[in-house]
């Protein structure tokens, strides 16, 4: 959430920057500043009336002590009138604050200057590419056919039990899935991240804290009776561990990793691009989250990018990195790098990670601050990345490692799986 003081100080620059997102902020900012002015004047008037009420209460007490009951009772009528006024001002303040927050919750973050112009994913900019695309036989199969051939993932059974987008992993498929989770976690822990096992449901405050609410409410599974949400990513519970926290400068940086299943009510569509593991309603993901001092956050983003590169190099998967354009940038992010792995059998790139810096946007919602050595208090910067999302990584492995004899397991995973071939 943007800070009103920053909007006031940088209004024209923010309006211009948000045009990269195709977001017209001119009228919204005018409403925000008007609401904030009303909020501040109401707060000042309320404070004045409360101070006057306190002064009169003390004066009435003294008058009763000195026996001046008539004068004391006259002042009591004034305090009664003041109570009614302060009640009205309190209600006005609450309503104005709610209206202000509603506006602020719906304004996206300010894109970094590195974010390219563009309206959609077609305008994202490739900034890095690595790895050789393997040459497969002419009869190479996409992963959903391989899954059926080797009986390692059953999409129809998942559809029977739950519905489309909830696959069942079987035998070596389940063991390969478990191996990937363990390997990703071990790599992240070795890089200095502390592992957490988090709840799979969060409350409404947590959803607002990281920006999934209200922006992505329609994409989240909602347990209405308890007003809880199934998590779309481990970013939500991990980052919310620090909600309402006042950290010390010495606590930073904080680096966390965690594995969770993730749940997303993706909009339905059809075709090969969403077949098999390409788009699921439930999928496994290992997340990395960082809490940083503002001056270090972009160096931390670069470190996270290198961490994901290192994992993909170990897996020997061909991949590329895209810098997202304004039209494809997530609501809360100032700068995002997407990783895509090349699926040879599908002849297309599959997104497998998104690595973002949110600067103070989440921290302002979370009230996540730290105290500097000089005693000043300021908002921290938050970052997160997928390291990695399993479905499309698994799809890339199955397709790129297929041979006439079966599917070879990447060498780095063999100690985790206990086998080197799916046949």
Name the residue with tokens 């900034």: 127
Inter-residue contact 340 to 308 (CB < 8 Å): no
DSSP count for the chain of H helices, then E strands: 13, 19
Q: Is 356 annotated as a binding residue?
A: no
Q: Assess contact for 304 and 383: CB atoms under 8 A.
A: yes
352 is in an annotated binding site: yes
Q: Which residue has the tokens 């890089």?
A: 191
- 13 vs 162: CA distance, rounded Å: 48
User: What is the rounded distance in angstroms from the CA atom of residue 166 to the CA atom of residue 396?
Assistant: 19
Give dist(CA 379, CA 293) in Å, integer.
8
Is residue 353 annotated as involved in ligand binding? yes
Residues 163 and 368 sit within 8 Å (Cβ to Cβ): no
Per the annotation, does 90 bind a ligand? Answer: no
Supply 371's token pair: 């105290």
Whole-angstrom distance, CA of residue 317 vs CA of residue 341 = 7
Q: Would you say 265 is a known binding-site residue?
A: yes
CA distance 252 to 369: 11
Is 384 annotated to bind a ligand? Reply is yes
Report whether 281 contacts 266 (CB < 8 A). Answer: yes
Ranges of beta strands (E only) in 224-365 are 228-230, 246-248, 254-263, 282-292, 319-323, 335-343, 348-359
Kindly give the pairing relationship between strand 194-196 and strand 254-263: parallel
Pseudo-torsion of CA 183, 189, 192, 193, nearest 10°? 110
How far is it, in rounded angstroms, from Cα 122 to Cα 10?
30
In whole angstroms, give the CA distance from residue 159 to residue 175: 21
**Max alpha carbon distance in the chain (Å)?**
105
Q: CA–CA separation, 338 vs 351, rounded Å?
A: 7
- The answer to whether the annotation marks 120 as part of a ligand binding site is no
Is there a binding annotation on residue 348?
Answer: no
DSSP bridge pairs for 356: 336, 384
Q: Which residue positions form the known binding site for ATP?
A: 264-266, 351-354
Q: Which residue positions form the known binding site for L-serine?
A: 233, 264, 287, 384
Q: Which residue positions form the known binding site?
A: 233, 264-266, 287, 351-354, 384
């Amino acid at each position: 959430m943007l800070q009103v003081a920053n909007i006031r100080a940088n209004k024209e620059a923010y309006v211009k920057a948000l045009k990269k997102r195709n977001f017209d902020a001119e009228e919204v900012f005018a409403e925000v500043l008007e609401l904030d002015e009303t909020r501040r004047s109401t707060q000042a008037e309320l404070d004045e009336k409360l101070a006057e009420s306190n002064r009169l209460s003390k004066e009435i007490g003294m008058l009763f002590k000195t026996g001046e009951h008539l004068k004391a009772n006259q002042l009591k009528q004034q305090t009664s009138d003041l109570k009614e006024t302060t009640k009205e001002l309190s209600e006005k303040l609450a309503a104005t604050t709610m209206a202000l927050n509603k506006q602020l919750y719906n304004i996206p973050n300010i894109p970094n200057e590195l974010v390219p112009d563009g309206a959609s994913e077609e305008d994202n900019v490739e900034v890095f590419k690595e790895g050789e695309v393997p040459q497969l036989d002419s009869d190479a199969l996409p992963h959903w056919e391989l899954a059926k051939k080797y009986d390692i993932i059953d999409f129809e059974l998942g559809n029977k039990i739950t519905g489309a987008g909830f696959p069942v992993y079987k035998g070596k498929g389940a063991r390969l899935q478990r191996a990937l989770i363990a390997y990703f976690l071990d790599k992240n822990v070795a890089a200095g991240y502390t592992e957490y096992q988090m709840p799979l449901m969060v409350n409404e405050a947590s959803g607002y804290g990281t920006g999934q609410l209200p922006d992505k409410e329609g994409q989240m599974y909602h347990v209405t009776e308890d007003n809880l949400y199934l998590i779309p990513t481990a970013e939500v519970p991990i980052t919310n561990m620090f909600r309402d926290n006042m950290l010390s400068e010495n606590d930073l940086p904080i680096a966390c990793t965690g594995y969770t299943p993730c749940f997303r009510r993706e909009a339905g569509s059809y075709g090969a691009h969403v077949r098999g593991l390409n788009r699921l309603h439930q999928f496994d993901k290992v997340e990395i989250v960082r809490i940083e001092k503002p001056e270090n956050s972009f160096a931390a983003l670069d470190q996270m990018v290198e961490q994901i590169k290192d994992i993909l190099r170990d897996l020997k998967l061909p991949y590329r990195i895209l810098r997202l354009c304004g039209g494809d940038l997530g609501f809360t992010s100032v700068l995002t790098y997407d990783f895509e792995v090349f699926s040879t059998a599908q002849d297309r790139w599959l997104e497998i990670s998104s690595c973002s810096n949110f600067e103070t946007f989440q921290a302002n919602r979370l009230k996540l601050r730290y105290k500097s050595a000089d005693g000043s208090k300021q908002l921290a910067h938050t970052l997160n990345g997928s390291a990695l999302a399993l479905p499309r990584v698994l799809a890339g492995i199955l397709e790129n490692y297929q041979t006439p004899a079966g599917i070879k397991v990447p060498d780095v995973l063999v100690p985790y799986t206990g086998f080197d071939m799916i046949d």
